[in-house]
Amino acid sequence: MRETFEPAFEGQSRPLLSFGLSFTESLVKHADDTFHASRIYVIFSRSLAGNTTYLDDLKKVLGDKVAGVRVGLKPHSLWSEILEVVADARKCDADLIVTLGAGSLTDSAKIVSFALANDVSTHAELDTLLPTSSQKRDDIKPSKVPVVCIPTSLSGGEYSAFAGATNDETGQKHSFSGTLKCPALVILDPQLATTTPDRVWLSTGIKAVDHCVETLCSLKSNDVADRDARSGLAKLIPGLIKTKQDPKDLDARLETQLGARDAMSAVTRGVPLGASHGIGHQLGPAGVSHGETSCILNPAVCKYNYKKGANVERQDAIIQLLWEDPKAREIFGQGKLNKDTADLGDLMDTIVRALGLPRTLKEFGIGEDKLDRIAELSLKDRWVQTNPAPLDKEGVIEILRMVLE
């Protein structure tokens, strides 16, 4: 297959997107031709480093251009680990940061570049880069060192100019944005993606579906974002089902990867998302993985908003779209759903269950005693604040109770 190399999104110069070559071929080409890099800092998945030869392959093809390597970061991008990488990358004067792995590595790399540009070394200094910080500095500089992402999951953070990370001194997850830049290049390799554990691949795929659904459910969306979200759903739902049925289906892998791109195209156009993402940000520090927060929350949030009459017409339009998809319709038939009575929450629940993914907080050891704290933290999240149905603490707890067990 020949390389496709183009902007990921219509009308936007960054990020660039490459697919059709192996990730090593593409990275070597663009490290030289696009970035003219000579001091590359690599952030590499721990599981891939331990279970494949890909790290050695990468070191071999890049040679003495590899200035530093970090193997493994914990989920939800801990500030302490980000600051460790910042110190390491600063020491080797990195001129390109490359990630190979899932979403936590991507978000961390974006924040590392942002922190390097602003001479950050401590938790307190990192806090000053937050848009919501009471200590926000006045002279925040934009990210400078370009980031290249080679994703192995479908969360889509490699396409965005914001990043989530957890302050491990407080336990709260925050969103960095503003002059933080999106990655410069995303490299897709469906063969590499076959190494991703099924549960990670499929659950982050539901995160991408959630991007589409919450865009289409938003009362502040627009025609272009809706178009991209519909395109994403049309690729993601059948692609996920096909990769569940045959994990070696590379065409389905690439279809799903491009669906995740479409999903993020909608998000990057400034459409605010809702409570599935907002509450999900706080389930992460409580022990739920990034993709699985959407598996648990999306159906419940859809039902809550529908019950409140917040976005009925928009949800009904998504229902119609999903029933038109043959692969989705097959799943709905197996779940014995009735087209005339099933709501969007029912459809999403059936898709998640068909993929063998978790649906309750109980599966993660989260009980009633933790809901109050999760709700308090969730109310500070920007996407809880833009949920179609206004939410207070009692509303967040109501949603959480819907998915307790």
Greater confidence (171 vs 209) lies with 209
State the pairing for strand pair 66-71/96-101.
unpaired
Q: How far apart are CA 289 and CA 77, in angstroms?
A: 12
Q: What angle do CA 83, 86, 90 make, to 5 degrees?
A: 145
List, for residues 274-283, the tens digit of each pLDDT value.
999 999 999 9
**What does the block give as tokens for 2?**
């020949």
List CB contacts of 223: < 8 A, sequence separation 6 or more: none
| Amino acid in position 370 | K
Q: How far apart are CA 277 and CA 280, in angstroms?
A: 5
List CB contacts of 324: < 8 A, sequence separation 6 or more: none
List, for residues 174-194, the tens digit of each pLDDT value.
989 999 999 999 999 999 999
> What topology is assigned to 4-191 in CATH?
Rossmann fold (3.40.50)
List, for residues 317-338, the tens digit of each pLDDT value.
999 999 999 999 999 999 999 9
Do 299 and 352 meet the contact criterion of CB atoms below 8 Å apart?
A: yes
List CB contacts of 84: < 8 A, sequence separation 6 or more: 70
Q: Where are the CATH 3.40.50.1970 domain residues in the chain?
A: 4-191
Alpha helices, DSSP H only, in 52-102? 54-62, 79-91
Do 124 and 135 meet the contact criterion of CB atoms below 8 Å apart?
A: yes
Q: Which of 213, 206, 212 is nearest to 292 (CA)?
A: 206
Domain 197-402 class, CATH top level? mainly alpha
Comparing 156-165, 212-221, 353-362, the range with the smallest average pLDDT is: 156-165
- Res. 224: pLDDT tops 80: yes
pLDDT score, position 173: 86
Alpha helices, DSSP H only, in 63-170? 79-91, 103-117, 123-127
Verdict on whether the full-model pTM lies above 0.75: yes
Q: How far apart are CA 394 and CA 386, in angstroms?
A: 16
List, for residues 39-90, the tens digit of each pLDDT value.
999 999 999 999 999 999 999 999 999 999 999 998 889 999 999 999 999 9
Do 364 and 288 meet the contact criterion of CB atoms below 8 Å apart?
A: yes
Tell me the three state secondary structure of residue 145. Answer: coil
State the pLDDT confidence band at 267, using cuts at 50, 70 and 90.
Answer: confident
Q: How far apart are CA 167 and CA 5, in angstroms?
A: 36
pLDDT score, position 240: 97
